[in-house]
Amino acid sequence: MKTNTLKFTLIICIILILMQTTFIILPTHFLSLYNMTIRPLTFATLAIIIHVFIGRDLRIIRDASSANKLGLLFILMLGFAILILAFSVGVGYNSMVINRSIIVRNLWEIGLIVVLGDFIRYKLIKQTTEKERRITVFILTIVLVYSQMGEIHRLTHGNMGVLDAFFELIFSSLVIGSVVSYFAIKGSFLLVALVSFVYTMTPYLIPILPTVSLVAFSIIISILAFISAIIYYFLFDKNNKPSEKIAEKRVARYNKKTLVQRGMTIALICLIIAFVRGMFPIYPTVILTESMTGTFNRGSLVFIERIKPDEVFNRIQTGDVIHFISHTGIEYVHRVVDITYDAHGERQYITRGDAVYLNDPSPVPQSEVLGIVHTFLPYIGYPMVLLSERR
């Protein structure tokens, strides 16, 4: 049966692709029927077929109990991160959870699909041979991410921006899907289902969320999912003895890197460069002066959520620390101490450094606001301070 697993996987993936493509091109008035009946029934039917075709896996999974406990730890890690974020930036009402009926609908239309998709993923990955496992994992991860994008209809109908769609639908789903596929290789189905369901469904089930954009929240969840995979690797994915591992690492230093490894290294470097250059919705900047001493000391690396010009009016309030560019072209990170309006009725922000007793000389128009500061790391950016002093 194992020799046909890859072909069987390809057939399942083709069905899922056809199903999702049909969903994209459907008229809007058919979406409710599709989400409530056709989509769940398709996933359920495929899950039953796979279970019948493959059967129950009776192999013992090493460290399954400990891995499942670690899955609970990952969920607590997510909850702790949300609490820290909530205390840092405040919380707001989650528009995706209006009432109990909406929560039930989210569980049916999204949560059920996630669980059934993970069952399909787990069964097919566990059944495949070592030789075919990489291609199976790659195909399943991509196809399941595509087939579970319930919000993709908004993108195709022009109701969502491309950048928002990338981070909310694609980036976050790919990271979580890749981590879950890795867990499917090494762990049990309970671990896979726990991590996948909670990390995917959190925005759809919690009535209040930190007051950050959905894009920023998606990035945070993606980072936490990636960290959980790293933790799992160091705790469970070292089956050889320490001496053998050390020997393998020494030999690996002299082995040529594969094309995939080089590509991943280049991709990671590009992502780091893009983040530093401010190409993501959350970007870093360094405090070069002492005007915010007491809140952000000189040399602190602050993380800023980029705010669109049409969102500034609703997002920025008195007391927020904002990143803005003055009419002279100089960038500042100062606190909003008051809000006024110019002769044309446009809102302006009076700003001041926390360590300064005088307000900044010029009010900040909405068009000059770049983002809102959420958190910081002290002294990390001090090399930039030294470089700026030499110029």
pLDDT tens digits along 357-387 = 899 989 999 989 999 988 788 777 777 777 6
The Cα diameter of the chain in Å comes to: 77
Is the whole model's pTM more than 0.85, yes or no?
no
* Per-residue pLDDT reduced to its tens digit, 287-339: 988 899 888 888 888 888 888 888 888 889 999 999 999 888 889 999 999 99
Residue 3, pLDDT > 50, answer no
Between 155 and 280, the more confident residue is 280
Residues 228, 137: Cα–Cα separation, whole Å: 18
Q: How far is CA 21 from CA 67, 273, 289, 360, in A?
A: 36, 34, 53, 54
Q: Which residue has the tokens 């030999």?
A: 251
Domains located in the chain, CATH noted: 2-255 (no CATH), 282-390 (2.10.109.10)
> Do residues 188 and 196 touch, judged by C-beta distance below 8 A?
no
Q: Which residue has the tokens 């894009």?
A: 215
> Do residues 176 and 226 touch, judged by C-beta distance below 8 A?
no
Percent of the chain with pLDDT over 90: 10
Angle of the 112-127 helix axis to the 172-186 helix axis, nearest 10 = 50
Between 34 and 325, the more confident residue is 325
Label residue 340 by pLDDT band (50, 70, 90): very high
Among 304, 249, 310, 21, smallest CA distance to 149 is for 21
Q: Say what the pLDDT of residue 363 is.
A: 92
